[in-house]
Chain A
Amino acid sequence: MARLLVIDDDRSLLELLSDYLSRAGHSVTGAPDGQRGLVAAAAVGPDLVILDATMPVLDGWQTLARLRTASSVPVIMLTARSDEADILRGFAGGVDDYVTKPFSFAQLAARITAILERRASGSQAGEVLRAADLEVDTVRHRVRRAGDLIELTPTEFTILVTLLRSPGRVLSARQIVAAVWGEEYLDETGYIRRYVWHLRQKLEHDPHAPRYVVNERGIGYVFPAD
C-alpha cells in the first residue's frame, strides 16, 4: 500500500480516481488545487503525487516547481495536451511519467505501480546510463551528448542501449538483432549495418571515426569501456 496524493481541480476526477486507487489498495489524499496540494504534500509525505497540469491560479508546472524545492517524490503529470514541448518541459521539471487525458484508470494504476517498484528496488539511478559525454535516459528515451539532445528513432535507441549496457563487450549482429527484434528475426542481420550507419550519423562527433559504436571486424559492434 502506498500513500498517494492526487492534485486536480476536476472534483469528479478527484473523487473517482481516489475511489479507484483506494480500491487498488492505496491510501489516497485528494487536493483540489496546487496550493492545497502543496500543504497536503507537506502533511502526508506521499510516496507518489499525481498532478494535473492545467489548474487555475497555481498550475501543475508551478506546483511541481515548488514541490521540487522540498521533495524528490515521484510525480505523474496528468496533461490535457500531448505536445512534445509539454512533455520535454515536464521531464526537465522533474516529472517521472505523464499520462494524457483521456486516460484509463487501469493504465494510470499500472504506471503508479511501475514507478513505485522502480523506486523500491533503488533502480532510479540506473535508469540513466552514462558513458563518455553521453547520457542515456532509458525510461524517458532521451539521449544527450555533451548536454545536447540527440534525436534517435526507437530502434536506434534500443541498439545504443543494448551496446551501452555491456560496455567493452563485443556483440555480434545476431545478438543485437535478438535483443532488438527478438529471436525470430535472427536471419535479418543485414538490417544492423544500415541501422548502425544511421545511428553513427546522428550520434558520433565524427561518424567516420566512431567513438561510441565501434566495429570489431568480422565479429560485431562494441561500446568501448573507456
Chain B
Amino acid sequence: MHVPAAKVRAWPPSASAASIIRIARWALPVALFAVAVFFEWGEHVRGDGDAISAAFYTEVVVFGLLGPAAVFATLTLVVRLIDAYVRTSDELAAVNRDLETRIAQRTQHLSLATAQLAEANEELAEANEELRELDGLKSEFVSLVSHQLRAPLTNIRGALELVEGSADGLPASARRPLQILSIEADHLASLVTKILDISRLEAGHLSASLGPVALEPLLARACGAALGPENGGRWVLSVAPGLPPAWADEALLEEVVRNLLHNASVHAPSTLPIEVRATIGEGAVRIAVDDHGPGVPAEEQARIFQSFHRVGDRDTTTNGYGLGLYFADKLVAAMGGTIGVTSPLWPDAAAPGARFEVALAVAPEEPPGQDEAEED
C-alpha cells in the first residue's frame, strides 16, 4: 500500500527539533551534573576551612552522575528511535517511489500490449476478410469454370450418345474405349453438377424444404437406386418398428443417403452387404450406413468431411474427388442435423469397416386430441 511521505514525516518532529534533542542528550546531563555539584557543595561545604565530607561525594555520585546518566540514556534511546524512524521512513519512501515507477512502467507496458493486441486484432480481422474474399472468389471461380464446362460436356455426352446409337457398326476395338469415354463423361458431368450444387449451397441458394420424412420408403428407394435391387445381396435395410418420421428435406436427405451408400460401395468389398439401419436414440432419428471396407483411420476422422479431402491415396483408385462427404455434411447441416463417422467397426484388421451416421430431429407431432381421423 502506498503511504504518502508527508504523513510518514508527521512524527518525529522536524530536523531542527531532532538536532535539539541530540544536543540536549549531552548538554542536559552536564547541566544536571553541574547543578548537583553546586547544590551539594552549598549543602555540605560551608566555609573555606571545612573538610569535604563523604556525604558530599556520595550525593554528588547519586544525584550528579546517576540522574544525568539516566537522562542521557533516555535521550540516547529517543535519538536512536528517531534515527530508526527516519531511516525506515526514507526506505518506505524509496519503496513507494520504486513502486510508483514500476506501476508507471507496467501501465506503459500494458498500454503498449493493448495497442499491439488491438493492432493484431485488426490485422486478424483484415486477414479474415481477405480469406473470406478469397473463399468467395474461389467459389465464384469454381462455379464459373463449372458453368463453362457444362456446355462442352453436354456436347461431348450428346456426341457419344449419337455414336453409341450406331455402335453396332463399330469394330470391337472401338466399342470399349467408347464405353470408357461415355462413363468418364458421365462421371465428369456428375462432378460438375456436384460442384455447382455445393456452390449454390454455400451461396445460400439451395435451401432445405423441411417436413416429415418417412424413412423406410426413402431408404429403400435410395438403396435400390445406388446399389441395385434388394435381392442382389448388396444391401440390407432395417428400420426400427414404429420409427417416427424425421424432420428433413426429402430430396436432400435422399441425396445424403445416396452419397453415403456410394461411398460405402466404392470402398467395401462387394461380397459383404452394406447395412443400413434407421433407429431412434437420444431424441433423434438416426440413419447408420455400415460397411466392411478399409475403415477411416482415427487421425483422418476429423478431416474426412472437409472439401477435397480424401483418405490417404485410396480414392485415386476409386475415382473419388473428396466431395461426397463434404456435400453430405453441408446438406445435413442445412437440415439441422449432424453427421459422424465411427471406425473401426468390426474386429477385423484387414476390413475394420466404418459407420456413417446421420442424426436428424424427430418430426414434430400434433398436439394430442387435435385429430382422430385415422382408421380405428
A residues with CB within 8 A of B: 10, 12-13, 16-17, 19-20, 23, 80-85, 101-106, 151-156, 172-174, 181-182, 185, 188-198, 208, 215-221
Q: In the complex the two chains form, is B374's CB within 8 Å of A173's CB? A: yes
Stretch from B34-42, B125-133, B145-153 forming part of the interface with A? B145-153
B residues with CB within 8 A of A: 147, 149-151, 153-155, 157-159, 161-162, 165, 189, 192-193, 196, 200, 205, 209-214, 216-217, 242, 244-245, 249-251, 363-366, 370-376
Beyond the given A152-B209, A185-B216, A196-B373, could you list 14 further A-B residue pairs with CB under 8 A, ordered by the A residue number? Answer: A16-B162, A80-B147, A85-B205, A102-B150, A102-B154, A102-B192, A102-B193, A153-B210, A153-B211, A155-B212, A182-B217, A194-B212, A195-B212, A208-B370
In the assembled complex, the Cα of A220 lies from the Cα of B161 at a distance in Å of 49
In the assembled complex, the Cα of A109 lies from the Cα of B320 at a distance in Å of 31
A102 in complex: contacting residue of B157, B211, B212, B250, CB < 8 Å: B157
In the assembled complex, the Cα of A91 lies from the Cα of B55 at a distance in Å of 141
In the assembled complex, the Cα of A85 lies from the Cα of B373 at a distance in Å of 38
CB closest residue in chain A, given B210: A153
A83 in complex: contacting residue of B205, B209, B251, B365, CB < 8 Å: B205
In the assembled complex, the Cα of A13 lies from the Cα of B150 at a distance in Å of 12
22 contacts between A and B (CB under 8 A): A10-B151, A13-B154, A19-B162, A83-B200, A83-B205, A101-B153, A101-B154, A102-B149, A102-B157, A103-B154, A104-B161, A105-B161, A154-B250, A190-B242, A192-B374, A193-B371, A194-B366, A196-B373, A197-B371, A217-B373, A218-B376, A220-B374
Q: In the complex the two chains form, is A189's CB within 8 Å of B212's CB? A: no
Chain A residues with CB under 8 Å of B147's CB are: 80-81
8 shortest interchain CB distances as A-B pairs: A215-B373, A153-B211, A197-B366, A102-B153, A101-B150, A102-B154, A102-B189, A16-B158
CB closest residue in chain B, given A190: B242
CB closest residue in chain B, given A182: B217
In the assembled complex, the Cα of A151 lies from the Cα of B149 at a distance in Å of 32
Chain B residues with CB under 8 Å of A20's CB are: 158, 161-162, 165
A106 in complex: contacting residue of B159, B161, B196, B210, CB < 8 Å: B161
Q: In the complex the two chains form, is A16's CB within 8 Å of B159's CB? A: yes
In the assembled complex, the Cα of A214 lies from the Cα of B216 at a distance in Å of 27
Known: A13-B155, A195-B245. A84 touches B205 (CB 8 A): yes
Q: Which one of B151, B157, B373 has the highest number of Cβ atoms from chain A below 10 Å of its Cβ?
A: B373
In the assembled complex, the Cα of A163 lies from the Cα of B157 at a distance in Å of 41
CB closest residue in chain A, given B247: A198
Known: A20-B161, A20-B162, A102-B189. A191 touches B155 (CB 8 A): no
CB closest residue in chain B, given A23: B165
Distance (whole angstroms) from the CB of A55 to the closest CB of chain B:
12
Distance (whole angstroms) from the CB of B373 to the closest CB of chain A:
3
Q: In the complex the two chains form, is A198's CB within 8 Å of B212's CB? A: yes
In the assembled complex, the Cα of A185 lies from the Cα of B215 at a distance in Å of 11
Chain B residues with CB under 8 Å of A17's CB are: 158
Chain B residues with CB under 8 Å of A191's CB are: 212, 214, 245
In the assembled complex, the Cα of A49 lies from the Cα of B123 at a distance in Å of 56
Distance (whole angstroms) from the CB of B328 to the closest CB of chain A:
19
B214 in complex: contacting residue of A13, A19, A181, CB < 8 Å: A181
Q: In the complex the two chains form, is A152's CB within 8 Å of B161's CB? A: no
In the assembled complex, the Cα of A179 lies from the Cα of B217 at a distance in Å of 13
In the assembled complex, the Cα of A102 lies from the Cα of B150 at a distance in Å of 5
Known: A153-B209, A196-B373. A188 touches B216 (CB 8 A): yes
